């Protein structure tokens, strides 16, 4: 009866803990969209005005964090013309305004803005232009040698969060985020192992009970406190990584209390970072209590694993609510966050459990005889198998669901850093499933059969006992070593999977806000982008020039050649459609103006550095459309 109650008690505690955690997912405030994207402005984008405005007003898709949201307006000579008073409107947290100097002369003006979403902490830069016409109605133009908007809010080469390049700030973020997830997954897996494997294993075998107690004590004495300390430090590292990125890789400036305080105090990212810190701190206190207090009340001993599991589940919630899962449309945000939380739980059930086997369980078996090792393996691992299978099933369901939310096309699996990391993760998960299937379906059943034959021989039931015992013992030893060998290196694939999750995080703005690097002015000249394209119907050739091919405003020029005559043509209309491939920012249209000599030109914006697609559309007088497209990389 006591054994039965002992098995039911942790199950009831776990059910209550997980139910409470699911309720927290539904109760805690969730985030509504991916970035604070510009919806409209006054003056509008590409507007032509007869009189200069007194201010620029912008409305965005999310509430803005006033600590890091700002805007600058410059003229064609890259000189600031605003009053340096960019601010979030008091009556509308989705509006940002900036006043302009009075009586601005005719010119092309560039508005460069930086938004920090108060919802998910993601930072995004963008720009647009408006033109004040000359008194005679003619339009001022941009000097092709001028890089409009350069360095007004930082420029340079720290672009890893946008381009998929592992520069120093991005690598630092990757390491910290991966350590946070590894630590959280391993910690929760340890609690699951204690509740569902060690405490549910048969209690009649004294040797097996002794091994189980050694396993539990090994984690408490060698892994519990160090894991939580690393988790605590890495969690602070996530915060420091964002400050590191904002300061353009200046580590000293990243430690500025005002900057770190602003990241913590403003926006929901800071709120959930505080939640993570509190949960880790409480877990660390409990771990120290377990380590230092050897004689604990029975009630505390029975409840403590469930309390730790609840803390781990809450930590997963805080991670999910500050992740890319929370950066989706409001009608599916609850489902996306819940799926992300379940995905983390699945990683603990499967990958974290494997890490526990390698770091905690197998070292205890190392000093035992082959018979004791085999007995423990065939007894305990079947209790772990349902956890691993549940993890595989949950991961198989939540993984594709999350991918369909974050990816808009199959092409993004190969054209974006996020998609490539996801592709590698899928391959690693497949490899891990194969190795797991090998030892679950082939090695473990054979070891179980050979162990039972060995115990049968030891009992003296068979004829020629000594020879049979030696033969069976050799087979048991061989299979045990093979199984333990697989179990030792198998978690390496799991760690690689979590590293891929870390890559997806830093390249999609998940655990941490995407921060715009503050970079130093460069003296190098930008290189214009030039290419020659044929339309899909082969009737026209388009020579495309993007100058200076930088983040911000560029001059787009297209020369159209009629392939039937081999000469430039002016009797067409030309439009460009620009699409950011690394982030869903929609598609912008740039209508080009003819110079009467076969050249069509107009200023337009590339809102951020990274991979772009430009679709060139040529319209003939009969309204027939002739198209071609090209992909290019635009640096900051």
In a domain, 349, yes or no: yes
Dihedral of the alpha carbons of 277, 281, 284, 285, in degrees to the nearest 10:
-170
Q: Are residues 394 and 479 in the same domain?
A: yes
- What's the CATH number where 103 sits? 2.60.40.1220
Q: Are residues 384 and 434 in the same domain?
A: yes
- Percent of the chain surpassing pLDDT 70: 80
**Terminal C-alpha separation, the chain:** 70
* Average pLDDT, integer, range 109-113: 88
> What residues have CB less than 8 Å from 426, skipping those under 6 apart?
399
- Given 136, 153, 170, which residue is the final one in a domain? 153
Q: Are residues 169 and 228 in the same domain?
A: yes
Q: Are residues 308 and 383 in the same domain?
A: yes
Cα-to-chain-centroid distance, residue 594 = 44
Q: Are residues 275 and 411 in the same domain?
A: yes
Other CB atoms within a 10 A radius of the CB of residue 202 amount to: 12
Q: Retrieve residue 377's tokens.
A: 């393996």
Closest by Cα among 467, 261, 486 to 357: 486
Q: Are residues 140 and 168 in the same domain?
A: no
| pLDDT surpassing 90 at residue 245 | no
pLDDT for the residue numbered 10: 44
Q: Are residues 171 and 206 in the same domain?
A: yes
- Given 153, 186, 207, which residue is the final one in a domain? 153
Domain containing residue 473: 2-30+162-508
Kindly report the average pLDDT of the chain as a whole number.
80
| pLDDT surpassing 60 at residue 462 | no
Q: How many domains does the chain have?
A: 3
Contact by Cβ (8 Å): 457, 468? yes
In a domain, 514, yes or no: no
Q: Are residues 198 and 316 in the same domain?
A: yes
In a domain, 519, yes or no: no
Q: Retrieve residue 265's tokens.
A: 């105090």
In a domain, 373, yes or no: yes
Q: Nearest 5°: phi and psi at 109?
A: -115, 140
Q: Are residues 11 and 80 in the same domain?
A: no
- Given 477, 508, 539, which residue is the final one in a domain? 508
| pLDDT surpassing 90 at residue 225 | yes
In a domain, 340, yes or no: yes
In a domain, 351, yes or no: yes
- What's the CATH number where 602 sits? 2.60.40.1930
State the DSSP H helix or E strand holding residue 218, giving kind and residue range, or none if neither: helix 206-218
| pTM (two decimals) | 0.69
User: For the ranges 17-26, 249-258, 269-278, 496-505, which has the lowest average pLDDT?
Assistant: 17-26
Q: Are residues 467 and 318 in the same domain?
A: yes
* Average pLDDT, integer, range 165-186: 84
| pLDDT surpassing 50 at residue 46 | yes
Other CB atoms within a 10 A radius of the CB of residue 431 amount to: 14
Q: Are residues 147 and 224 in the same domain?
A: no
Contact by Cβ (8 Å): 19, 208? no
Q: Are residues 227 and 147 in the same domain?
A: no
User: Measured at the alpha carbon of residue 439, what is the angle toward residues 436 and 443, in degrees to the nearest 5?
Assistant: 170
| pLDDT surpassing 80 at residue 332 | no
């Amino acid at each position: 009866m006591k054994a039965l109650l002992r098995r039911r008690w942790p199950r009831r505690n776990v059910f209550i803990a997980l139910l409470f955690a699911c309720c927290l997912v539904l109760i805690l405030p969730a985030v509504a969209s991916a970035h604070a994207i510009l919806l409209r402005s006054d003056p509008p984008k590409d507007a032509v005005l007869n009189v200069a405005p007194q201010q620029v007003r912008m409305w965005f898709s999310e509430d803005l964090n006033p600590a890091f949201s700002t805007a600058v307006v410059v003229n064609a000579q890259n000189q600031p013309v605003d009053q340096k008073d960019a601010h979030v409107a008091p009556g509308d947290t989705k509006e940002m305004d900036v006043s302009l100097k009075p009586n601005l002369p005719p010119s092309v003006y560039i508005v460069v803005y930086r938004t920090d979403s108060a919802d998910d902490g993601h930072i995004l830069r963008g720009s647009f232009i408006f033109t004040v016409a000359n008194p005679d109605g003619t339009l001022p133009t941009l000097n092709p040698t001028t890089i409009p908007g350069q360095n007004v809010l930082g420029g340079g080469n720290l672009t890893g969060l946008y381009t998929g390049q592992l520069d120093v700030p991005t690598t630092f973020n990757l390491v910290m985020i991966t350590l946070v997830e590894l630590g959280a997954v391993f910690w929760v897996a340890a609690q699951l192992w204690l509740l569902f494997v060690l405490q549910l294993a048969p209690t009649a075998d004294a040797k097996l009970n002794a091994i189980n107690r050694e396993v539990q004590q090994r984690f408490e004495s060698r892994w519990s406190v160090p894991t939580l300390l690393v988790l605590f430090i890495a969690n602070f590292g996530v915060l420091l990584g964002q400050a590191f990125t904002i300061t353009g890789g200046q580590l000293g400036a990243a430690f500025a209390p005002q900057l770190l305080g602003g990241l913590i105090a403003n926006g929901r990212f800071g709120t959930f970072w505080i939640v993570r810190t509190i949960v880790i701190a409480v877990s660390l206190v409990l771990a120290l209590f377990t380590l230092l207090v050897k004689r604990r009340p029975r009630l505390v001993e029975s409840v403590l694993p469930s309390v730790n599991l609840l803390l781990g589940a809450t930590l997963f919630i805080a991670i999910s609510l500050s992740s890319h899962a929370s950066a989706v449309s409001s009608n599916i945000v609850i489902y996306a966050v819940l799926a992300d939380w379940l995905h983390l739980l699945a990683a603990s059930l499967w990958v974290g459990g494997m890490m526990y086997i390698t770091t905690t369980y197998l070292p205890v078996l190392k000093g035992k005889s082959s018979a004791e090792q085999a007995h423990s393996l065939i007894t305990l691992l079947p209790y772990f198998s349902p956890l691993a299978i549940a993890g595989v099933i949950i991961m198989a369901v939540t993984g594709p669901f999350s991918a369909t939310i974050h990816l808009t096309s199959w092409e993004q699996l190969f054209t974006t850093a996020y998609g490539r990391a996801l592709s590698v993760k899928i391959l690693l998960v497949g490899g891990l499933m194969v190795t797991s299937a090998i030892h679950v379906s082939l090695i473990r059943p054979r070891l179980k059969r050979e162990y039972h034959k060995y115990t049968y021989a030891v009992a003296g039931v068979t004829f020629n006992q000594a020879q049979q015992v030696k033969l069976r013992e050799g087979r048991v030893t061989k299979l045990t070593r093979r199984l333990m060998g697989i179990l030792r290196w198998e978690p390496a694939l799991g760690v690689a999977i979590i590293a891929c999750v870390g890559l997806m995080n830093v390249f999609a703005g998940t655990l941490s806000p995407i921060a715009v690097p503050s970079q130093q002015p460069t003296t190098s000249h930008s290189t214009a982008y030039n290419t020659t394209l044929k339309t899909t119907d082969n009737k026209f050739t388009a020579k495309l020039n993007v100058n200076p091919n930088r983040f911000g405003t560029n001059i787009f020029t297209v020369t159209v050649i009629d392939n039937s005559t081999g000469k430039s043509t002016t009797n067409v209309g030309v439009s460009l459609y620009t699409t950011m491939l690394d982030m869903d920012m929609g598609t912008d249209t740039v209508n080009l103006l003819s110079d009467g000599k076969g050249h069509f030109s107009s200023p337009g914006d590339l809102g951020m550095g990274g991979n772009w697609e430009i679709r060139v559309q040529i319209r003939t007088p009969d309204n027939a459309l002739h198209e071609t497209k090209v992909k290019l990389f635009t640096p900051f």
